[in-house]
Amino acid sequence: MRIVSYNVNGIRAAIKKGLLDWLKTYPVDIFCVQETKATPNDIDLTLFTELGYHVSWFPAQKKGYSGVAVFSKTKPSKIVCGTGHEMSDFEGRVIRVDIGDLTIVNAYFPSGTSGDERQNYKYQWLDEFFGWVEALKKERAKIIVAGDYNIAHTDIDIHDPKGNKKSSGFLPEEKAWMDQFIEAGWIDSFRQMNPTTTGAYSWWSQRFPSVRLNNKGWRIDYLCTSSALKNLITATDILPMVKHSDHCPIVLELQK
C-alpha cells in the first residue's frame, strides 16, 4: 500500500502544472493533499474519480485558503471532518478517513511566519491536536498522521539550522512538541528508514528561484504512524523532482 502526502499549494494550480499526469504514472493508493485552497465544487472531481479515487474533502470556510482532502482507491468506511476545535475546523485543517482498520489523519498544521498572533495560535493548535490524536489512538490502533507539520524537527531536517534558530518552524518550542509527539509513540516513518540521511527536504522557499535548485530546503512534511504500524513500514521516499508546488510529495509504503 502506497500512501503519499503532498502540500499542493492550491490544487487548481497543481492540476494546471500536471498533477494528474503525474498521478497516472505514479500509482498511489491513498493520496493526502494539504492546502487545497478550494472546495470540491471548484474543480471537476471526475478528474480523480476516473482514476479510481474516492474523494474526502474538508475545505476552509475562508475562500481560497487552507483545506485538506484525501483521495483513496478504497471507499472509506468513515469520514470525520475536523477535530471539534472551532478555529482549526473553520480553517479546514484536519480530516480523518477510516479505511478498514486503518485510520488516515490528514492535517495541515498552522504556520507562524506571519507574526506573533499566528505563532501563538500555532502553539494552541499543537496542544489541541496532540490531545485529540492521542485520544483517537485509544480507539484506533493503526493510524497514519499525514501532512504538512510546518516544523523541521532536528538539525538534519533543515539546510541551515544555525541561521534559522529563530525562524518559525524551527523554534525550540516547536521542536519540543515534535519530541513530545515522538516520545508518545509516533513513528517518523522517513527517519525510521533513513535515520541519518541529510539533504532530504520537502519544502523550499519561493522567494528565490535558486533555493530549490541549490536544495536549501526544510523537511516539514511527514507521514508518521502509530507504533502498531511500525513493523509494517517497507519503504519511504521524498520526491523533490516532482514540482507542482513549493513542497514535494512524500511517500510511505506499508505491507498490507
One-letter amino acid at 252 equals L
Which letter, b or e, does each residue of 106-117 get, where b requires 16 or more Cβ atoms within 10 Å of its Cβ? bbbbbbbeeeee
Judged by DSSP in three states, 213 sits in helix
Q: Which residues are catalytic?
A: 148
* Strand pairing class (68-72; 30-34): antiparallel
- Rounded to whole angstroms, the Cα distance separating 103 from 167 reads 33
CA angle 219, 86, 80 (to 5 degrees): 70
Q: Is-contact 58 67, C-beta < 8 A? A: yes
- Pick the closest to residue 212 from 194, 199, 196 (CA basis): 199
Judged by DSSP in three states, 144 sits in strand
